[in-house]
Amino acid sequence: MTTTREPNKVLSQIEYDVIGTRPIRPDGADKVTGRAKYSADFTISGAIYGKLVRSPHAHARIISIDTSKAEAHPSVKAVVTGEDLPKTVIGADGDRPKTSGEIAADLKYLRHQIMATEKVVFGNQPVAAVAAATAHDAEEAAKLVEVKYEILPSVTEVRAAMEDDAPVLHDDIEMTEFGEKTGRKGNIADHFQNKIGDPQKGFEQADVIVEREFNTATVHQGYIEPHSCTVHWRDDDRIFIWNSCQGPFNIRDATAEVLGVPLTNVKLTPQEIGGGFGGKFEPYGEPVLALLSKKAGAPVKMWMTRTEDLEATGPSPGSYVRVKMGATKDGKIVAGEAELAFEAGAYPGSVVEAGGECVFAPYDIPNAVVDGYDVVVNKSKMAAYRAPGATNAEFASETVVDELAQKLDIDPIEFRLMNAAKEGTRKVDGTSFPRIGLVEVLEALKDHDHWKSPIEGDNVARGFACAYWMNAGLQSAVNLAVNSDGRVSLTEGSPDIGGSRASISMQAAEILGIPSEDILPSVVDTDSIGFTFGTGGSRTTFATGYAAIEAAKDVKQQMIERAALIWGVAPESVQMDKGNIHAGNGAELKMTFKELAAEMNDTGGAITGRGSVNPSGVGAAFAGLIVDIHADPETGKVQILRATIAQDAGKAIHPSYVEGQLQGGTAQGIGWGLNEEYFMSDEGRMANSSFLDYRMPTALDLPMIDTVIVEVANPGHPFGVRGVGEVNIAPPPAAIANALSRSLGVRMERLPMNPNTVMETMWANNGSSNGS
């Protein structure tokens, strides 16, 4: 990277021994040889198989459920319905507290979502479940459960659900507005507003104003491994769960709450995970299998089909976003106004607040107002998806920013630099940024060979967009145990999705002054480590890494004390540096890490270290993306020719895995931008619930994605780490849309920008309905 900017001197220029290198990940060989055990690979003797009975209707009253025929099936061991979930209530208004899932869902709703009673509110919603000796028998027996429904009209689109005469999902949802109950019943669960400065005055100062309305489709994380789990309710009332999840403790807690049992009755052992992207924070089958297991007296295993997974776990919301921005003729953005309405799915609690925080965050805008609406629709409850809310919001705002730059005839990156948020810039929610790296990201791309290269060919064009995501901190715990051969066992509670065992081990190794290969990391069960919030929010390398640093410091201090004991000197005179322990001038009193480890068992026993953190110094993430596209003017099909993403990593612990995150997020963002969508039938069912018709990009749809890692250290982390997992998904839809405006002259206001939609937009611009 060649830039003329001030190098980041905070921390990132520090030379490290382990950090910044690219060791082979500890889980790599098992994964490439197929030895790694994923959730569906889990076996336990005596297991039987579960299957959920699901609603064929998106919205219907349950008249009756008759399980007798299923119970009579010779292979069936247990049948349960929603009535079997306990209705435990605690608290004044009859509800238990919110769960600790990433998107907090009211417990009453969580229970209903897991297995419905009285009515179903989304297609494929579970209403009962069976367990049988084989998976095929379970599937056949599930068909024997007879459910009578009274079909109700459904609504699956956010704006339609906000209409006064829309079908109402829940008669107990009352809109909260600015934190107060309003008494207004309907599908709008919440309306919030953030405001800074005086937007009206701001717009009066503007020479150019752009306003557009955008609609984006519901999308899915598209992880390769569908949800699956095995649950054993043992006769000592402990409930063991083996599953694929991002948050072992989150799901342990939520499962215990739904079942009305003490937290620690549940023990969850996470298996290797085949992707989550936010979609594996919530329990789906776990509580149901627990009930089946209790009834049958055997462990119960279940895996979802892709159709079940797509339609009835937790996708990412479709949305309506209106953005209006104004700038002066010399290129200063002076006012912003945004309105966001997000699908929450069938129960309240969407990610609209995050979207509202993101929509203007990359810019220093003195006057802005953001309104957000959380709206229930007849779709499965939305879950998190990689920077949840950011992509919807920033597709809209980055399109409007681009159009402002076009109107002002200012280079798109230059225009963003002129308005970029920096340390001290106040966001619309009133908080201000610590040191952030947006300017450095923009400069890196402005100086990049890709940006400077000529754009050649018919209908070939270039687009740019950038994005913000706040990242998360939250709780993590790490334990270290030094072995007498000098290798160190590391136990942690963060399921490893993107190479985090490597990046966490490397941080401990750096502190201890030993090679990262000498750290042996394990992701352990919820009985074996302190509470660790799930792998998500780009938090794992930051927060679990932080805990590993603390644990390593603890070990280091004890190593020093142990050496002092052996040498009979004061601990203050002992030093440990790059894995060597010495005292005095170091000529005589010196030992290597391994030598001291070998003395350990005879001088007081094993040395163990612990780290437990809830760090507040979360570093915000910024990314920018340049894409070159070709758009076919006759078919509307977009081909991505070249893509370059730059992102501020703070400090890249393992650069390869940072690059992997940048590429993965860009790939998902391209899919979101071009072809992915929930296509709903008139009856409210998902029509394209397979990967054939839910079109994620294939290898032939993506170019090699070039990456630039920018390092503006996060002052809130010992090594300067910022989370890198999420923000990269947000720029592609806007970058592609911005390129399309230059290729075909159309401004896209709808996601996905599939060929059909692009052509329709062109026809609408030409004033013809079908191109004829």
Partner 1 sequence: MKWIDYARPQTVAEAVQLLTERGDGARAMAGGTDLIVQLRVGRRQPDHVVDVKHIPDLNEVNTSGGGVTLGAAVPCHIIYNNDAIKDAFPALVDSASIIGGTQIQGRASIGGNLCNAAPSADAIPTLIALGATANVSGSTGERSVAIEDFCTGPGQNVLGADELLTSISIPAQGANSGARYQRFIPRNEMDIAVVGVGASVTLNNGSFESVRVSLASVAPTPLFVTEINDELAGKDVTDENIAKAGEIAKDAAKPISDMRGTADYRRHLCDVMTRRVLSDAITRARGGNVDAH
Report the interhelical angle of 655-674 vs 390-408 (nearest 10°): 80
- Spatial distance between the Cα atoms of 406 and 270, rounded to a whole number of angstroms: 50
Q: Which stretch binds partner 1 (CB under 8 A): 43-51, 485-493, 609-617, 688-696?
A: 688-696
Token digits for 412? 């798109």
How far apart, in Å, are the Cα atoms of 486 and each of 72, 236, 610?
60, 39, 17
- Spatial distance between the Cα atoms of 659 and 645, rounded to a whole number of angstroms: 9
* Range 632-639 contact pairs with CB under 8 angstroms and sequence separation of 24 or more: 632/459, 632/755, 633/459, 633/744, 633/762, 635/755, 635/759, 636/744, 636/754, 636/755, 636/756, 636/757, 636/758, 636/759, 636/762, 637/755, 637/758, 638/674, 638/736, 638/740, 638/753, 638/755, 638/758
What x/- string results for residues 583 through 612 when contact with partner 1 is judged by CB under 8 A?
------------------------------
Token digits for 338? 């945004």
Question: Among candidates 411, 352, 405, 342, which has minimal Cα distance to 377?
Answer: 342
Question: Among candidates 189, 661, 691, 656, which has minimal Cα distance to 471?
Answer: 661
Interface residue with partner 1 among 431, 635, 765, 766 (CB under 8 A) is: 635
* Nearer to partner 1 among residue 141 and residue 390 (C-beta): 141
CB 79 within 8 A of CB 291: no
Q: Which stretch binds partner 1 (CB under 8 A): 291-299, 487-495, 520-528, 690-698?
A: 690-698
Instruction: Give me the least distance between CB of 518 and partner 1, in Å please.
Output: 41
Tally of CB atoms within 10 A around 699 = 6
Interface residue with partner 1 among 224, 587, 692, 704 (CB under 8 A) is: 692
Token digits for 262? 């003490």
What is the 3-class SS of 529-561, one letter each residue? CCCCCCCCCCCHHHHHHHHHHHHHHHHHHHHHH
Regarding 695 and contact with partner 1 (CB under 8 A), the answer is yes
DSSP annotation of 571: G
Instruction: Give me the least distance between CB of 699 and partner 1, in Å please.
Output: 8
* Nearer to partner 1 among residue 595 and residue 693 (C-beta): 693
Instruction: Give me the least distance between CB of 766 and partner 1, in Å please.
Output: 13
* Nearer to partner 1 among residue 134 and residue 200 (C-beta): 134
Interface residue with partner 1 among 693, 745, 764, 765 (CB under 8 A) is: 693
* Nearer to partner 1 among residue 141 and residue 727 (C-beta): 141
Regarding 243 and contact with partner 1 (CB under 8 A), the answer is no
* Nearer to partner 1 among residue 384 and residue 680 (C-beta): 680
Instruction: Give me the least distance between CB of 399 and partner 1, in Å please.
Output: 21
Report the interhelical angle of 731-743 vs 390-408 (nearest 10°): 30
How far apart, in Å, are the Cα atoms of 369 and each of 192, 209, 386?
11, 15, 25
How far apart, in Å, are the Cα atoms of 274 and each of 277, 287, 495, 576, 642?
10, 21, 10, 40, 28
Instruction: Give me the least distance between CB of 142 and partner 1, in Å please.
Output: 12
Q: Which stretch binds partner 1 (CB under 8 A): 162-170, 280-288, 510-518, 697-705?
A: 697-705
* Nearer to partner 1 among residue 590 and residue 695 (C-beta): 695
Q: Which stretch binds partner 1 (CB under 8 A): 59-67, 133-141, 203-211, 273-281?
A: 133-141
Regarding 701 and contact with partner 1 (CB under 8 A), the answer is yes
Instruction: Give me the least distance between CB of 136 and partner 1, in Å please.
Output: 5
What x/- string results for residues 648 through 687 when contact with partner 1 is judged by CB under 8 A?
--------------------------xx---x-------x
- Spatial distance between the Cα atoms of 494 and 500, rounded to a whole number of angstroms: 8
Paired with 612 in beta bridges are: 477
How many residues form the binding site for partner 1 (CB under 8 A)?
28
Instruction: Give me the least distance between CB of 678 and partner 1, in Å please.
Output: 10
- Spatial distance between the Cα atoms of 531 and 249, rounded to a whole number of angstroms: 6
* Nearer to partner 1 among residue 33 and residue 770 (C-beta): 770
Interface residue with partner 1 among 634, 745, 764, 765 (CB under 8 A) is: 634
Pairing outcome for strands 476-482 and 488-492: antiparallel
Instruction: Give me the least distance between CB of 718 and partner 1, in Å please.
Output: 44
- Spatial distance between the Cα atoms of 653 and 718, rounded to a whole number of angstroms: 12
Contacting partner 1 within 218-237 (CB under 8 A): none
* Nearer to partner 1 among residue 306 and residue 594 (C-beta): 306
Q: DSSP 3-state assignment of 41? A: helix
Contacting partner 1 within 135-194 (CB under 8 A): 136, 139-140
- Spatial distance between the Cα atoms of 284 and 251, rounded to a whole number of angstroms: 9
- Spatial distance between the Cα atoms of 495 and 476, rounded to a whole number of angstroms: 12
Which residue type sits at 154? S
* Nearer to partner 1 among residue 265 and residue 675 (C-beta): 675
CB 379 within 8 A of CB 218: yes
Regarding 700 and contact with partner 1 (CB under 8 A), the answer is yes
* Nearer to partner 1 among residue 43 and residue 756 (C-beta): 756
* Nearer to partner 1 among residue 238 and residue 695 (C-beta): 695
* Nearer to partner 1 among residue 16 and residue 679 (C-beta): 679
Token digits for 741? 């405006």
Instruction: Give me the least distance between CB of 140 and partner 1, in Å please.
Output: 6
Instruction: Give me the least distance between CB of 464 and partner 1, in Å please.
Output: 24
Contacting partner 1 within 725-764 (CB under 8 A): 754-756, 759-760
Instruction: Give me the least distance between CB of 226 and partner 1, in Å please.
Output: 14
What is the 3-class SS of 240-291, one letter each residue? EEEECCCCHHHHHHHHHHHHCCCHHHEEEEECECCCCCCCCCCCCCHHHHHH
* Nearer to partner 1 among residue 141 and residue 210 (C-beta): 141
Across 69-101, b (16+ Cβ under 10 Å) vs e yields ebeebebbbbbbbbebbeeeeeeeeeebebbbb
Pairing outcome for strands 367-376 and 188-196: antiparallel
Token digits for 615? 């760090």
Token digits for 701? 């749809």
* Nearer to partner 1 among residue 4 and residue 698 (C-beta): 698
Instruction: Give me the least distance between CB of 160 and partner 1, in Å please.
Output: 19
Regarding 216 and contact with partner 1 (CB under 8 A), the answer is no
* Nearer to partner 1 among residue 220 and residue 267 (C-beta): 220
Q: Which stretch binds partner 1 (CB under 8 A): 81-89, 364-372, 463-471, 629-637?
A: 629-637
Contacting partner 1 within 535-564 (CB under 8 A): none
* Nearer to partner 1 among residue 459 and residue 528 (C-beta): 459
Token digits for 525? 């069960």
Q: Which stretch binds partner 1 (CB under 8 A): 104-112, 282-290, 364-372, 631-639?
A: 631-639
Peptide bond preceding 752 in cis form (omega within 30 of 0)? yes
Interface residue with partner 1 among 81, 156, 392, 688 (CB under 8 A) is: 688
- Spatial distance between the Cα atoms of 479 and 493, rounded to a whole number of angstroms: 10
Instruction: Give me the least distance between CB of 623 and partner 1, in Å please.
Output: 25
* Nearer to partner 1 among residue 32 and residue 699 (C-beta): 699
Residues 6 or more apart whose Cβ sits within 8 Å of residue 690: 306, 307, 310
Residues at the interface with partner 1 (CB under 8 A): 136, 139-140, 634-635, 637, 639, 674-675, 679, 687-688, 692-693, 695, 697-698, 700-701, 754-756, 759-760, 769-772
